[in-house]
Structure 1
Amino acid sequence: MCVCTVHWHKDAFMQGCFRLFIMYRICMCLYVAINCIASQEVEEPISYTCTDGYTFDPVLQICKDVNECALMPDACKGGMKCINHFGGYLCLPQNAKIYVSNGDEDSPSPTPVPAPRPPQNRRVILNQGRTIQCAMGFTLDEQNYCRDIDECATEMHTCSSDQVCHNTRGSYTCQCPPGYQKHGDQCVDRDECLQAHYCMHRCINTEGSYHCECNTGHKLASNNHSCIDVNECEGGNPCQHQCFNVIGSFICQCDQGYELASDSRSCQDIDECSFSNYMCQYQCVNNPGGYSCSCPEGYQLQGSRLCQDINECDRGHTCRDDERCQNYHGGFRCYPRNSCQEPYVRTAENRCVCPSVTSACQGLPTTIVYKYMSILSEHTVPADIFQIQATNIYHNTHNSFQIKVGNEDGEFFLRRSSNLSAMLVVTKPLSGPREQVVDLEMITHNSVINYRSSSLLRLTIIVGPYTF
């Protein structure tokens, strides 16, 4: 720029002297101005080149930092936070805190970088036709200004098909699309899983990107990288009976009387009867989810497992009127009310007497008494089961006892307790059902009057079919 300065002096004495000087200065300024205008016509507008990460501010005539975080929304991947920096940018975690300092706490922020001066060998030449020639990457517009050429829009670039062209002032750059990185002249997939990512469980790399997956029993949260537990028990119950949710899985439990099957979900019945033979006294019946005890005919269940004999003679039976009902363990039997046979006559219930005046009674027992009893099968031995007792007491008499009939296998023993009684003892286990008739004879002697008589007790022993 040409600047002309004229100084006016107030001294009137000097006004005349300086008039010629003023005219001289005016002419010189006009001459210089004409030369400046001619110089501007032939020179090309000066272009400035800033380093990467900066752009030229034509107003402030400085290189200002480029905010890549604002220009490129996808500058950082994997949820990283973009932090603008002088001449570039940083990708840091979301919770990172940035402190910019040169070592002093109160140090001022860096000042903008001044624009470099154009090189001396700038590409501005003046040809003989006084036209302006722009530098490479620029083109002259209608106002004779050098404007930047958008090589990306005009396809005046050498970027390959897998690269993205980005126009710059006076040039252009070839960049890979998001999720890719340069490998030589080619763009290859960037494996985000090998770099920083926010997948809580597993990172799955894909072409140009990645996604997160969760372990079994979890699902992706709304942020697409955290994993939250899945409550499998909600909605459709995967268990046959009871479902309990745990972190990352669930467990199934069965109701009482059931156990988990091999699939750990369904329930199968427990056969309690297979555990022990003592679950029930007679028979164990397995039921879904439990068991029950049953008793044989002639018995009823007492409590939950024991069997008790039913006394049919008290509850109702099929014996005739001339018969008597005799209950035993597991059933009943009908016996004649009058068991006396000639020459015996019935003198009382179950008692028969043979009159001594008749010749038919000679050598026969004077009386026969009928008794009935029931014992368990396989009864523990030895065991006292029946006592025979004399009813008539005479002075100077002696009583003896013996098993007359019914002990062919030696299963009984008659133990004399006193002169008036004896005890029948079982010496071998008896298996039922069985009916055993044993004749117990008592012989009475009187040496003073030379008297001898005998009486018979006919004992019917009914052995039940079971041990209970």
Structure 2
Amino acid sequence: MRSRVLLAMFRVCVTLSVIFSLGRSQVTYTCTDGYEYDDTRHACKDIDECVALPDACKGGMKCVNHFGGYLCLPNNAEIFISTAEDEEGAGPGDAPEPLPPAPDPAPQPGSGPAPGSGPGAGSEAGSSRRATTGTGPAPAPLPRQQPAPSGGINCALVPYLCQYQCVNQAGVYGCVCPEGYQLQADRLCEDRNECEEGHYCSADQLCWNYHGGYRCFPRNPCRPPYTAIAEGRCACRSDVPACRGLPSSMVYKYMSITSGRTLPADLFQVASTDASSSMIHTFSIASGNDRQEFYLRTISGRSAMLVMTRPLQGPREAVVDIEMHTHNTALNYRSSAILRLTIVIGAYPF
């Protein structure tokens, strides 16, 4: 479905000032941001940022110049220009007829820099009226979850400009992010690393950041009869009666993914460190796959890849045990080891 964007015409304001020098009057002109003075036509001319700024829009978006600024919109967006009266008189489902561009505003004498040196001159002019998708100089950063004003555009008309949510306030719009994220480039949401910013995990806990939050996991996850041999690594000694029939070792790993990740997706590779030709290794999912969301793809005789086959929607935590069986053909020896992988799925696809 094609999007329709309604842009209101900007009223260009200029100020008047006369400078007297050596008994002779000299008049200079300045134009509103996004315009520059045309000495030939003696008029304020709109700056075409789509031409002046290289790579003004990213991600396949098209650049659309408008009065005093520019917008980055999807390629299928349809642009209409109308006045406020057209908006009030339009019936339900009526789309305004496209209007020709407004004529360049007539200049008025004004105080300020000489022609061509004011804030409207150069490739960076008019940044205060650019949409948040523009790549020109960004406005001052705002606190997280506070609107970032941008030129009188309504959220109902441009909902796709914000990665998470668009909020109208006092005739302008702003993008906000959910808890655990911070606003980037006025429209994108970036995960905050609470483990670096400050957390409440104790000294015997490991802080693990995931998309939208963090978890506190024990540094020593081993439970009897297993004993810790390194952080996140446990062993069950063969001379301990309770260890008979149990995997000889357990390794704990953690990872974070976004919600609704594209399928199929390679998640985690498990491999044996023993390269002996007399060793035969086989891999299987021992537990945590009741919903048939994963399978193991054999890479070689020493490694396998855990693959996600069904979309995982967050927020959620999935714990998968991958078991490696080892058979020594020379000594007729068998053993096994468990890798316990905790997958934390964030609540959002970013």
Bin of the TM-score, shorter chain as denominator length? 0.5 to 0.7
Q: Does 1:262 align with 2:144?
A: no
1:397, 1:345 → 2: CA distance?
Answer: 26
Q: Aligned partner of 2:84: which letter? A: A
The residue correspondences of 1:36-435 to structure 2 (distance < 5 A) are 260-262=83-85, 270-435=152-317
Looking at both structures, which has the greater relative contact order when contacts are Cα pairs under 8 Å and sequence separation is at least 6?
Answer: 2
Give the match's secondary structure for 1:313: helix
Q: Deviations over 1:83-112 (max 9, x none)?
A: xxxxxxxxxxxxxxxxxxxxxxxxxxxxxx
1:270 offset after TM fit, Å?
Answer: 4.8
2:152, 2:276 → 1: CA distance?
Answer: 70
Give the match's secondary structure for 1:360: helix
1:386, 1:353 → 2: CA distance?
Answer: 22
1:262 offset after TM fit, Å?
Answer: 2.7
1:277 offset after TM fit, Å?
Answer: 3.1
Give the match's secondary structure for 2:155: helix
Q: Does 1:453 align with 2:335?
A: yes
1:427 offset after TM fit, Å?
Answer: 0.3
Give the match's secondary structure for 2:196: helix
Q: Aligned partner of 1:261: which letter? A: A
Q: Aligned partner of 1:384: which letter? A: D
Q: Aligned partner of 2:253: which letter? A: K
Give the match's secondary structure for 1:278: helix
Maintained 8 Å contact 1:284/1:291: yes
Q: Aligned partner of 2:254: which letter? A: Y
1:289 offset after TM fit, Å?
Answer: 4.4
2:288, 2:331 → 1: CA distance?
Answer: 33
1:321 offset after TM fit, Å?
Answer: 1.1
1:351, 1:366 → 2: CA distance?
Answer: 11
Which protein has the larger Cα radius of gyration, Structure 1 or Structure 2?
A: 1
Maintained 8 Å contact 2:154/2:171: no
Give the match's secondary structure for 2:160: coil
Maintained 8 Å contact 2:322/2:340: yes
Give the match's secondary structure for 2:203: coil
Counterpart of 1:462 (choices 323, 344, 347) is: 344
Maintained 8 Å contact 1:319/1:325: yes
Maintained 8 Å contact 1:241/1:255: no
Maintained 8 Å contact 1:381/1:427: yes
Q: 1:261 to 1:339 in 2, by over 3 A?
A: same
Q: Aligned partner of 1:337: which letter? A: R
Unaligned runs of 5+ in 2: 1-9, 14-66, 72-80, 89-150
1:131 is matched with none
2:226, 2:87 → 1: CA distance?
Answer: 79
1:260 offset after TM fit, Å?
Answer: 4.0
Q: Aligned partner of 1:329: which letter? A: H
1:263 offset after TM fit, Å?
Answer: 8.7
Give the match's secondary structure for 1:262: helix
1:450 offset after TM fit, Å?
Answer: 0.8
Maintained 8 Å contact 1:259/1:270: no
1:394 offset after TM fit, Å?
Answer: 2.8
1:279, 1:304 → 2: CA distance?
Answer: 10
Maintained 8 Å contact 2:152/2:173: no
Aligned residues: 217
1:260, 1:288 → 2: CA distance?
Answer: 19
